[in-house]
């Protein structure tokens, strides 16, 4: 199921700058019980991304309306929203009048086994490095070749995620997740002002940790620091939190703090769905 500027179809003009240059943004959202989870937060990030790229934001009302059209009656699914700068002539210069393209599409919810949430996942370090680019850091734009090259590095089904460093060797995130570690009851994650995507779940985890009295620090750190952690976890809007039980050959326990964060995140999302505020 797919809506392009409100119309049900499955193709796009070749001239769309999303296709020509990756000139746009996207959001990936869990659908549960007919509702897009934390939709308000996703649309807020999309709006900020549009500001950063000078793309006119299509508006929360129209996107919420179209999202609800697609999501109603879906027990569980994934909603993807793409916004591009629309069609334009050849060349990088943006058209004088920008008619954005918005694409909303539904996808099956991935059938990850429950053990990933409970017993954790196995990860590896990727060789592909994230480039340094303050102008694009943090936003979820359509230029995703770094993640594609990183994800192409392994095909072993027992490895669920690849962890990425930037060109300065700082640990940043997973190919499709944000990364946290716990050391001496404190929660750490990377600063995302040079590269990376500032995930919605990442933001919520920082908030609920701080609210429950867990000190949270965003900072720059190297591999060694991650490998000396007490607990490690990855997160995104589809998986929630997965404990990391292995990075390459290093093993980690599924610890109490990670389990607590999972419980609190579950409650947060259920409350958001009930209040319909998110």
Q: Establish if 143 lies at the interface with its own copies (CB under 8 A).
A: yes
Closer residue to its own copies, CB minimum distance, 1 or 250: 1
**For its own copies, which residue of 105, 117, 246, 260 counts as binding (CB under 8 A)?**
105
Give the three-state DSSP class for 93. coil
Q: Establish if 30 lies at the interface with its own copies (CB under 8 A).
A: no
Instruction: Provide the token pair at 3.
Output: 């809506």
The set of residues, in sequence order, having a beta carbon less than 8 Å from that of 97 and lying 6+ positions away, is: none
Q: Looking at 60, 140, 186, 259, which residue is catalytic? A: 140
Q: Establish if 189 lies at the interface with its own copies (CB under 8 A).
A: no
* DSSP letter for each residue of 194-263: SSSB--HHHHHHHHHHHHTT--EEEE--BHHHHHT-SEEEEEETTTEEEEEEEETTEE----HHHHHHHH
Q: Establish if 128 lies at the interface with its own copies (CB under 8 A).
A: yes
Q: Establish if 157 lies at the interface with its own copies (CB under 8 A).
A: no
Q: Establish if 49 lies at the interface with its own copies (CB under 8 A).
A: no
Q: Establish if 78 lies at the interface with its own copies (CB under 8 A).
A: yes
CB burial string 61-73: b at 16+ within 10 A, e below: eebeebbeebbee
User: Segment contacting its own copies (CB under 8 A): 7-15, 31-39, 64-72, 261-269?
Assistant: 7-15
Give the C-alpha separation, 241 to 233, whole Å: 7
Instruction: Verify whether residue 177 is a known catalytic residue.
Output: no
C-alpha pair distances (Å), 16 with each of 8, 26, 87:
17, 15, 4
Closer residue to its own copies, CB minimum distance, 12 or 216: 12
Q: Which of residues 230-259 bind its own copies (CB under 8 A)?
A: none
Q: Can you tell me which residue has the tokens 């994934």? A: 78
**For its own copies, which residue of 100, 123, 147, 190 counts as binding (CB under 8 A)?**
147
Residue 182: CB atoms within 10 Å: 21
Instruction: Give the x/- contact pattern for its own copies in 190-209, rule: CB under 8 A.
Output: -----x--------------
Instruction: Provide the token pair at 128.
Output: 């592909």
Instruction: Verify whether residue 169 is a known catalytic residue.
Output: no
Instruction: Verify whether residue 140 is a known catalytic residue.
Output: yes
Give the C-alpha separation, 84 to 86, whole Å: 5
Closer residue to its own copies, CB minimum distance, 175 or 262: 175
Q: By CB under 8 A, name the binding residues for its own copies.
A: 2, 4, 10-23, 26, 28, 53-54, 78, 80, 82, 85, 89-94, 103, 105, 107, 128-136, 141-152, 167, 175-176, 195
Write out the catalytic residue numbers: 28, 140, 173
């Amino acid at each position: 199921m797919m809506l392009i500027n409100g119309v049900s179809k499955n193709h796009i003009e070749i001239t769309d700058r999303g296709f020509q240059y990756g000139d746009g943004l996207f959001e990936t959202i869990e659908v549960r019980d007919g509702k897009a989870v934390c939709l308000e937060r996703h649309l807020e990030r999309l709006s900020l991304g549009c500001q950063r790229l000078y793309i006119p934001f299509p508006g929360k009302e129209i996107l919420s309306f179209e999202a609800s059209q697609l999501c109603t009656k879906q027990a569980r699914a994934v909603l993807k929203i793409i916004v591009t700068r629309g069609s334009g002539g050849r060349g990088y210069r943006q058209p004088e009048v920008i008619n954005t393209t918005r694409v909303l599409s539904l996808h099956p919810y991935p059938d990850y086994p429950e053990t990933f949430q409970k017993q954790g996942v196995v990860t590896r370090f990727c060789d592909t490095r994230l480039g340094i680019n303050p102008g694009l850091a943090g936003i979820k734009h359509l230029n995703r070749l770094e993640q594609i090259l990183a994800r192409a590095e392994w095909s072993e089904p027992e490895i669920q995620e690849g962890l990425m460093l930037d060109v300065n060797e700082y640990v940043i995130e997973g190919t499709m997740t944000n990364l946290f570690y716990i050391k001496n009851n404190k929660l750490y994650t990377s600063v995302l002002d040079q590269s990376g995507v500032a995930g919605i779940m990442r933001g919520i985890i920082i908030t609920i940790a701080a609210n429950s009295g867990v000190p949270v620090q965003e900072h720059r750190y190297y591999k060694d620091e991650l490998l000396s952690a007490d607990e490690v976890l990855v997160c995104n809007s589809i998986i929630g939190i997965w404990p990391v039980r292995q990075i390459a050959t290093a093993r980690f326990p599924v610890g109490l703090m990670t389990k607590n964060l999972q419980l609190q995140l579950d409650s947060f999302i259920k409350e958001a769905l009930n209040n319909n505020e998110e």
